[in-house]
Amino acid sequence: MRESAPRKGATRAADIPADVLNALSHGKLQSATLVEGLALDQAVLLRTVFPDLSPRALEATDAACQLGILKRMAGIGAALLHELGPTGIAQCQAHASDTVRGWACFMIGAQPGPDLSTRLTAIQPLADDAHFGVREWAWMAVRPHLTRQLDTAIECLAAWAVLPSERLRRFASEALRPRGVWCAHIAALKQQPEQALPILLPLRADPSTYVQDSVANWLNDAARDQPDWVRNLCAQWLQGEPADATHRICQRAQRNLK
């Protein structure tokens, strides 16, 4: 596994040193913060990583670079898949730049045809990437497919919820948050959050705070539309002698309830 660059990184775009931004934009450095990942020049990065892209592909990717970050990543991923085919996924997935590996996520998301299980198998190494940003791109890239096949998605992700990797367990929760960040809400889970219990129940005492935070945020999302359901679920989970992790999840899940 690659490890993120051992540096603090900038928290404001204006604070990113010119040499760091240049290194980020040329794929020589991984982003240490979200701010750095958003600030780098993806058009420059594309030309650095793929200097032989066709004029048509460059036109499509340059247009995508004018969009918001999620549409930008999706647009670049779709254009690269069209230009390079499946072999381009492996090229991006093996690159040192977290942004380039993020393009691989969206190339997998843009692939036509694979069933949901196959798509999840393809995204799994990226969902388990050592870099925080790649892991976020992974669930965002396949979420539209998950929401269109919700029953199958819940069945597949319930199996991920018991995997050894905390990163994959978190993916299982984060990918189907009813009010996920930077993405469309899932109306079916806002109305009937209990559908996701096959994923949530195995995670209710997860030892990883990384996973606990995701489960708590999932329930906090649900509480916006179904507060009584969240209260009752947390009351059930807290019966007897629940784990400290369960206490933490339930406390954070109900943080906005009165």
pLDDT band, very low/low/confident/very high, at 114 (cuts 50, 70, 90): confident
Q: Is the pLDDT of residue 87 over 60?
A: yes
Closest CA to 152 of 113, 118, 177, 200: 118
Q: Which of 8-17, 18-27, 53-62, 82-91 has the lowest mean pLDDT?
A: 8-17
User: Percentage of residues in the chain with pLDDT exceeding 70?
Assistant: 97
User: Percentage of residues in the chain with pLDDT exceeding 90?
Assistant: 91
Q: Which residue has the tokens 């691989």?
A: 104
Q: Is the pLDDT of residue 109 over 90?
A: yes
What are the structural domain ranges in the chain?
A: 16-148
- Reported as a single tens digit per residue, the pLDDT across 169-212 is 999 999 999 998 889 999 999 999 999 999 999 999 999 999 99
